[in-house]
Chains A and B, each alone.
Chain A
Amino acid sequence: MIFSSYIFLCLFLPLFLIIYYLTPTRLKSTLILLASYAFYGWWRWDFLYLLVAITVVSYLFALGIEKARDAKQAKFLVSTGIVLNLLALGYFKYANFGVDSFNALLQAFGTQPLPWTPILLPIGLSFFIFHAISYLVDIYRKEAQPTRNLIDFAAFIALFPHLIAGPVLRYHLLAEQFRSRTHTFEKFSQGSLRFMVGFCKKVLIADSIAPLADASFALQNPTLLDSWLGVLAYTLQIYFDFSGYSDMAIGLALMIGFKFPENFNHPYISRSITEFWRRWHISLSSWLREYLYISLGGNRKGVARTYFNLFLTMVLGGLWHGSNWTFVLWGAWHGGILALERFLGSKKLWKPVPAYLSIPGTLILVMVGWVLFRAHNVGSAFEMYAGMVGLNGLFLSDALGYQVTGLQLITIMLALILIFVGPWWMQRQQSREVGEVMRVGYATLSILPLFVLAALRLAAQDYSPFLYFQF
């Protein structure tokens, strides 16, 4: 089930909220768990076993780690727990990729490829595996106490607002909230507003631009204008799609009393790639830093190793997004630039460059990366790059020209305005308290009619899945 669907908006959510607010506190976690399993099962019930298995295994291993006789046994248990989780991820997400790559190699040497039936990727797998790993490592590092309450833990893993596409949360951030949290109408109202903002981002902006990105990336020999228009469309689509999803997740969580950390912070006004990764998918970059970069040795093992760790973290982070060489290269692109910025000192490196150059400059680096992220394969990405440097002509091609609509162009312009005016607006709206919250003024209420428009828009568009569900 997806948030931007009528089945969720008109049946699941109203029904869940009614029952949730009528349920006594001690049973709220059980209700969240059952509702979240139903939410997941709506896609496929037969993959629910995987979610349950990962939950139970992680729960038991965490208890084992706590009771370990010594550090050695604890290390063995945490390693085994992580390996089991990674084996599940590897089998469902990377087996096809591995076999395909191996078969390509065999064919290159004139050998028959191995017969193989592709494995279906369970939706949200990457996210709930990461949740489970973070839990095990937190317990091992003694940053959190393992829970005795299996229901609370299972509800944390399955919590439907973040089950399918994040944010990637650490258990200790939510553990306390599972034990005790407040439910106020102001919180519900804040959550509603946040959900509506996300819904509008997704339906009105991302989904309106998506066909243009799709059409451009489907071209064989895109021209300069074709390719840049397509990449710009995708750059905006992925941001409004994914940050819209995160807004909806944060909003839904708030509607039932949970506070999720922010996941995006105006990433396209970054002045360096280092800054970009502090603003884009913050929960993932935090996870990668906490559990991968530090586990690899971080910056504690010498200068050369630091750069290597940084690079490898981003390559593996790229691979986490999808089982394709394009994601590996995307990770390498970002990892390489991060390493370079670290070597030269990102602030020092870009300091001489004024903001009106460093912001678009960084955005262009990000856009070049998005080509790899969006392309179906490395060959298609390089076709796009050929177009971007003008090797296939300059102007709009006939194959794309007829597909460009006025609504798409206006939406792109509005999206750009939002990206660059948004940060200023949010700053203006920020409360006097710490933290970013959307303060409701008369201007903010314009989101209400826009939400109705977006809800009507759902009827007028074909089903449009969230981009991040495939990762």
Chain B
Amino acid sequence: MIQNINESTSVPATTQHAHPHLQLIPGIFMLGFLTLGAVFALISPGLRDLPEGKDVITGEWAVTYEKTFNKGLPWRDTGIQAWGTLEYFAFQNGRPGVLVGKEGWLFTTEEFQFFKNEAQETRQKLETIQQVQQQLKAQGTELVVALIPAKTRVYADKLGRYPMPSYTLKRYFSFRDGLLQAGIPAPDLLTPLIQARNSGEVFLHTDTHWTPFGASVVAESVKTALDQLQLNLPTTAFETRDSAEIQHSGDLLKYIPLGPYQDQGPQPDHFTEKVTEQASTDSSALLGDAPDDASDLLGDSAGVPVALVGTSYSFNPKFHFEGALKQALQVDVLNMALEGKGPMVPMQEYLKSSAWKDTPPKVVVWEIPERFLPVHYEETP
């Protein structure tokens, strides 16, 4: 079956060669490489960054130290950029996590991912939303879900070589149908966003998030949904004005590290930031719509009629969803969104907060991006 291994198959100590001097080059090169590597490692900041509170015996300390050590190496960025450049210009690929579409449009792979337990996960989310609705209703609070369609769905024509996966085609519609059947108001946001593309971009090229314009389109649709509920919310006059023109390197641009060639890759987005403030000519008090607690004017959250719960789409002021809602509704909004937690955790946190317990609002707007529907999130204790 198997041959004996003997010394004859070992590497001989010395050999005869056509170019004996060449035999020494790899050794010299390796010595140079190891010396340079060691010198650079010894002067890198990560070398002396010793972890605290980590167990040495179980290897936890070593893992932490190694991560820090690697991050501090001076050629780290060169390596990342060299390979990033090669992959982008040779194959139009970024680091794992981004897909390069047409005309500088970038998309997250999260919107393409297949989830084995999607049916079960979305069913659970729907049940959770129903439970939340009942919990809110018990305090006289309405729930409106702002189900944000995936960027791939709104800009399917910019996907280029990546067709929208078949298993995601119905995701938005079926989940929204589920919400409506459960009696949870959830306005159609896909149609207005697609229609609004004629007037401006509703998502950012290099980011997973929407533009302030996209956020304002959604805010208008949420207003329509709230109008149908006839909640008679106390109004506050808000004005929105343009602020600075900013350059925004989106979260997806990090996946395309081109170093000195960055200007030949996808370019950062430019947009005008919006600022929404209470109007100086606010006459709501004269009209009898002033909130019971005038401390609102001082920024206190008590008695704010609308609570906004959601993800980074709502949390990040750059995208201006909170302001867009205030502008569309002309009602004050308490923003309870959290970043990087998915859509479910912020709601759990909100329902534990004093803002909810002490002064329940008239309505909660729950912003839920479609791409988070099949993702499982651990419940917070």
Contacts and interface: CB of A to CB of B under 8 A. Distances in A.
| A and B held together in a complex | yes
A432 B16 CA distance: 7
B10 A259 contact: yes
Contacts of B1: 274, 277, 285, 289, 293, 310, 313, 338, 342
B173 interface: no
B12 A434 contact: yes
Contacts of A342: 1
A445 to B, nearest CB: 6
B155 interface: no
B8 A434 contact: yes
A187 B91 CA distance: 40
A459 interface: yes
A16 B328 CA distance: 68
Interface stretch (B108-116, B174-182, B235-243, B285-293): B108-116
A425 interface: no
A260 interface: yes
Contact of B35 (A14, A184, A288, A459): A14
Contact of B17 (A45, A262, A439): A439
A460 B16 contact: no
B108 to A, nearest CB: 11
Given A189-B24, A402-B112, A431-B15, A460 B84 contact: yes
Given A5-B66, A44-B59, A398-B165, A433 B15 contact: yes
A270 to B, nearest CB: 13
Contacts of B56: 45
A441 B19 contact: yes
Nearest to B60: A44
Contacts of B77: 459
B80 interface: yes
Interface stretch (B25-33, B137-145, B224-232, B335-343): B25-33
A285 to B, nearest CB: 4
Given A11-B38, A282-B5, A441-B22, A448 B29 contact: yes
A374 B295 CA distance: 64
B24 A407 contact: no
B78 interface: yes
A398 B167 contact: yes
A188 B27 contact: yes
Contact of A14 (B37, B73, B163): B37
B11 interface: yes
B373 to A, nearest CB: 17
B40 A10 contact: yes
A135 to B, nearest CB: 16
Contact of B41 (A11, A313, A433, A453): A11
B66 A190 contact: no
A442 interface: yes
B259 to A, nearest CB: 11
A353 interface: no
B244 interface: no
Given A277-B2, A402-B99, A433-B15, A442 B22 contact: yes
B348 interface: no
A405 to B, nearest CB: 5
B201 interface: no
Given A190-B26, A196-B26, A440-B25, A45 B112 contact: no
Interface of A: 5-7, 9-11, 13-15, 17, 42-46, 173, 182, 184-196, 211, 219-220, 250, 254-255, 259-262, 274, 277-278, 282-283, 285-286, 288-289, 293, 310, 313, 338, 342, 398-399, 401-403, 405-407, 410, 431-437, 439-442, 444-445, 447-448, 451-453, 455-461
25 contacts: A6-B41, A9-B37, A13-B34, A45-B59, A46-B58, A173-B7, A182-B13, A188-B27, A189-B23, A194-B11, A277-B1, A398-B114, A398-B165, A398-B167, A401-B163, A431-B17, A433-B15, A433-B16, A434-B8, A435-B8, A437-B15, A442-B19, A445-B26, A448-B25, A460-B84
Given A189-B24, A196-B30, A406-B90, 7 more contacts: A188-B30, A192-B31, A255-B30, A342-B1, A437-B15, A451-B33, A460-B83
The 7 closest A-B pairs by CB, nearest first: A189-B27, A406-B91, A459-B79, A192-B30, A456-B79, A398-B165, A10-B41
